[in-house]
Structure 1
């Protein structure tokens, strides 16, 4: 049985806009979905993949 992500949240910097992403806790990492179309589903990452992504964002590797 597949467990669905829990504890969905979006950045507090998003305010009340609906054009952002939410992150949820997955069984082995994180899940990400679009707030404009939550019914479209989500993608998942492993814990190490999510940590590497967050580290890259903090290091401004996408800017």
Structure 2
């Protein structure tokens, strides 16, 4: 698994509370950008789509 496969949103700038995404085994995956050697979560396309929609709607702002 190459670190160059992981993508961080261009909107995250230098923030340290970001997730990165990649394709793993043909499925979307996410990981904590602060811990690139740590675990990652593989999602179905449907669940990943709902996650992305939630991000766009501001559901994961931590506020």
TM-score range, shorter-chain basis?
0.5 to 0.7
TM-score normalised by length of structure 1? 0.67
Counterpart in the other structure of 1:10: 8
Kindly tell me the number of residue pairs found equivalent between the two proteins. Answer: 59
Instruction: Describe how 1:21-36 pairs up with structure 2 within 5 A.
Output: 21-36=19-34
Secondary structure (helix, strand or coil) at the match of 1:36 reads: coil
Root-mean-square deviation (CA), in Å? 2.5
TM-score, normalised by the number of residues in structure 2: 0.67
For CA contacts below 8 A with separation 6 or more, give which structure has more relative contact order. Answer: 1
> Which ranges in structure 1 are unaligned for 5 or more consecutive residues?
none
- State the distance in 1 between where 2:26 and 2:18 align: 23
| Bigger Rg over Cα | 1
In proportion to residue count, which structure has more strand?
A: 1
Give unmatched runs, 5+ long, in structure 2.
none
